Amino acid sequence: MEFAELAGTVIFAISGVIAVAERRIDWFGAIVVGVVAAVGGGTLRDLILGQTPVFWIQDMTYLGFAVAGSVLAIPLVARLGNSTTRFEEGLQLADAMGLALFSVVGASLTLALDQSGAVAVTCGILTGVGGGVIRDLLVGQTPLIMRSEIYATAALAGTIVFVLLDDTTGLPLWLSSTVGMLIVFGLRLAGLRKQWSLPELR
């Protein structure tokens, strides 16, 4: 699971930099947003569970990967050019991958602390969406979780399936995790492609 968490850290850092690419801020500001997006969700999870110091203070590798991902995103942004559509597509793909990885990793780490399945699902969703919420607030956008499109719902479905598989089937952790991640990623992308959304509150 450590590999998945490090991968998610890099991917969410990239999404943070892509999100601010059209705001014309300097490189340092972009890297700050990338790092905050990468470690924000896990930080909230650890604080809620009383796991202090939080994960990236206990192991600075995560902070290093967040910075590296943010720096690597800068030439990637340059390749995207000035196309708003390409920026949006790049952000959506990176965010969907990060959401899938972090949601299931967050649930898995919570289960490892002997918490209940319900708590694991809740903390998994928080880990998955937390960094993106902070990222969107920093760049002045309405957080994805506050929109009607399929986002947190995808994280909910994938983490529930992961927790159920882990609790009832005896499957290896890597397999149940992979299934959960694929569900989150697949639902998020399908929701974007098919423009699925939940009913709006009126």
pLDDT at residue number 141: 83
pLDDT at residue number 88: 74
Please report, for the chain, how many H helices and E strands are present, in that order.
8, 0
pLDDT at residue number 82: 64
Does the pTM of the predicted model rise above 0.85?
Answer: yes
pLDDT at residue number 183: 97
**pLDDT digit of tens for each residue in the chain (202 aa)?**
678 889 889 988 988 888 888 777 888 999 999 999 999 999 999 999 999 999 999 999 999 999 999 999 888 887 776 666 776 777 788 889 989 999 999 999 999 999 999 999 999 999 999 988 988 888 888 887 887 778 899 999 999 999 999 988 888 999 999 999 999 999 999 988 888 887 777 7
pLDDT at residue number 186: 94
Give the C-alpha separation, 126 to 106, whole Å. Answer: 8
Q: With helix as H, strand as E and coil as C, how does 122-153 read?
A: HHHHHHHHHHHHHHHHHCCCCCHHHCCECCHH
Give the C-alpha separation, 174 to 202, whole Å. Answer: 42
- Long-range contacts of the stretch 88-92 (C-beta < 8 A, 24+): 90/18, 91/15, 91/18, 91/19, 92/192
Q: What are the domain boundaries of the chain?
A: 2-194
